[in-house]
Amino acid sequence: MGMYCVANELSTLKMGMYCVANELSTFKNKSAMKLRVIRTYLVPLRRGSLEIKSQEIVFHDSEGTVIHAHVPKTLVENTVIHAHVPKTLTYKTSMHEYMLQFNHETIMKEIRSDKFPWHMYRLKPFNSLKGNPTLDDKHLIDIIGRIVQIHGPQEKIIGGHNTRLIDFVLEDAL
């Protein structure tokens, strides 16, 4: 995926002074960051709808710190967008204390750099996930493993819709 500079003022972007995700705070919310996209996905307005509610982007910085960004529907198709740093929201998919909330002042510019590191995966050992009550199921985690057992499909009603679920067991590849 691409690498981007994200800032909330063009002057900050032009100065070339970038912060990393671990330097963010509620007092330092007007900064430029160099980030690489790990994942991006569109959130529909409601289940089965073609109307878009938002775009969610998972980035990593040069230190490998992962941070989630929310782009509201009104800005999804814009190329010039700006961000501020709110406190944790309930659907945040990274473990970082903050998430980026894009607004009409956010500027996102694609850049090229061979020196920016690739930290694409956040691998976790399978036994650290299995039965871990402190694990937040909203956080995205990369798992490398193989399916060793598949249970028959189950029909459940989720959000008023009939949904087919399949349980399976993964074996840690390590």
Taking the chain (174 residues) in runs of 10, the rounded mean pLDDT of each run is: 64 65 77 85 82 87 89 73 46 79 83 76 71 74 78 85 83 70
Angle, CA 96 vertex, CA 78 and CA 81 arms, to 5°: 10
Helix (H) or strand (E) holding 129: helix 126-129
Q: What is the pLDDT of residue 81?
A: 39
DSSP-assigned letters across all residues of 48-108 = T--SEEEEEEEEE-TT--EEEEEEEGGGTT-S--EEE-PBP-TT--SSSSB-EEEETTBEE
What pLDDT does 80 receive?
Answer: 39
pLDDT at 39: 82
Please report the pLDDT score of residue 103 as a whole number.
84
pLDDT value, residue 88: 44
* SS3 of residue 148 by DSSP: strand
Minimal CA–CA distance to 36: which of 105, 92, 114?
114
pLDDT of residue 3: 65
Q: What is the per-residue pLDDT for 174?
A: 63
Whether the Cβ atoms of residue 107 and residue 13 lie closer than 8 Å to each other: yes
Pick the CATH number of 3-111 from 1.10.287, 2.40.50, 3.30.70, 1.10.3470: 2.40.50
Q: State how far the Cα of 32 lies from the Cα of 20, in Å rounded to an integer.
A: 9
Q: Where are the domains of the chain?
A: 3-111, 126-172
Q: What is the pLDDT of residue 79?
A: 41
